[in-house]
């Protein structure tokens, strides 16, 4: 019977600690949800409802920097006749204009984007380009989500910016808003 090489023991210990810590990041182990996340996601849901009233796919987004709402938006692709006018893009554009800088997250601020639906690849790329520190979204998009459902754009190792992601905030409400919208169109 061979014994463990003493030089590998620290590596195994570190790996065991990593595995133990990882279980708490797993969605199977629910985390406490900050009250602000729920409040801001409710605002995003208001934007989604406004989009639905306008005949747009009901997706809403809120951009918060240092606990201040900087921009609110909803999908406007039909209204603006613009395929890039997703709620996230509209919110990022409004915030950049308001602040006078396309880089919304910097050393002095912490930008969080709240969106009711998992961002697509275009929106996920814009989140990286705007240097958003944190993305919070409601429900997954199994047909086009680029955070984890179809792609993992934000996790690509070549990117020079990392985004903290929280999903599932008001998941049922966000999903129900989309389901009701599409059910009414069938």
pLDDT digits (tens, 9 = 90+) for 85-112: 999 999 999 999 999 999 998 756 799 9
Listed in sequence order, the residues at least 6 apart from 172 whose beta carbon sits closer than 8 Å to its beta carbon are none
Closest CA to 166 of 125, 122, 132: 132
> Is 88 known to be catalytic?
yes
Q: What is the pLDDT of residue 107?
A: 56
Distance CA 169, CA 171 (A): 5
- Beta carbons within 10 angstroms of residue 10's beta carbon: 9
143-182 tens-digit pLDDT: 999 999 999 999 999 999 999 999 999 999 999 999 999 9
Closest CA to 88 of 147, 37, 160: 147
Q: Please tell me the pTM assigned to this model.
A: 0.82
Distance CA 92, CA 81 (A): 18
Higher pLDDT, 61 or 35: 61
Residue 73 near residue 66, CB atoms below 8 Å: no
Closest CA to 73 of 51, 55, 56: 51
Query: What distances in angstroms separate CA 157 from CA 18, 131, 144, 151, 153, one per listed residue?
Result: 19, 16, 21, 13, 9
* Structure tokens that stand for 117 in this block: 């639906």
Kindly state the DSSP code that residue 79 receives in the 8-state scheme. T
Distance CA 44, CA 58 (A): 10
Q: What is the pLDDT of residue 186?
A: 82
Q: Can you spell out the DSSP letters for 148-182?
A: TTS--GGG-TT-S---EEEE-TTHHHHHHHHHHHH
SS3 state of residue 1: coil
Flag whether pLDDT at 10 surpasses 80.
no
Q: Please compute the mean of the pLDDT values over residues 128-149 and round it to a whole number.
A: 97
Q: What is the pLDDT of residue 105?
A: 81
The residue behind tokens 């912490």 is 110
Which one of 46, 47, 56, 88 is the catalytic residue? Answer: 88
Determine whether 117 is exposed, middle or buried from the number of CB atoms within 10 Å of its CB (0-12, 13-18, 19+): buried
Flag whether pLDDT at 122 surpasses 50.
yes
């Amino acid at each position: 019977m061979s014994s463990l090489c003493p030089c590998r023991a620290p590596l195994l210990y570190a790996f065991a600690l990593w595995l133990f810590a990882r279980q708490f990041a797993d969605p199977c182990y629910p985390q406490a949800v900050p009250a602000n996340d729920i409040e801001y996601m409710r605002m995003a849901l208001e934007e989604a409802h406004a989009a639905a009233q306008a005949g747009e796919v009901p997706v809403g987004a809120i951009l918060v920097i240092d606990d201040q709402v900087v921009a609110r938006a909803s999908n406007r692709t039909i209204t603006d006749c613009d395929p890039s006018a997703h709620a996230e893009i509209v919110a990022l554009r409004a915030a950049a204009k308001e602040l006078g800088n396309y880089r919304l997250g910097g050393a002095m601020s912490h930008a969080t984007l709240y969106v009711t639906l998992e961002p697509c690849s275009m929106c996920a790329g814009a989140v990286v380009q705007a240097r958003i520190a944190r993305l919070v979204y409601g429900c997954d998009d199994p047909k086009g989500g680029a955070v984890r459902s179809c792609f993992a754009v934000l996790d690509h190792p070549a990117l020079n910016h990392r985004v903290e992601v929280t999903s599932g905030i008001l998941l049922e409400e966000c999903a129900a808003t989309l389901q009701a919208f599409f059910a009414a169109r069938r």
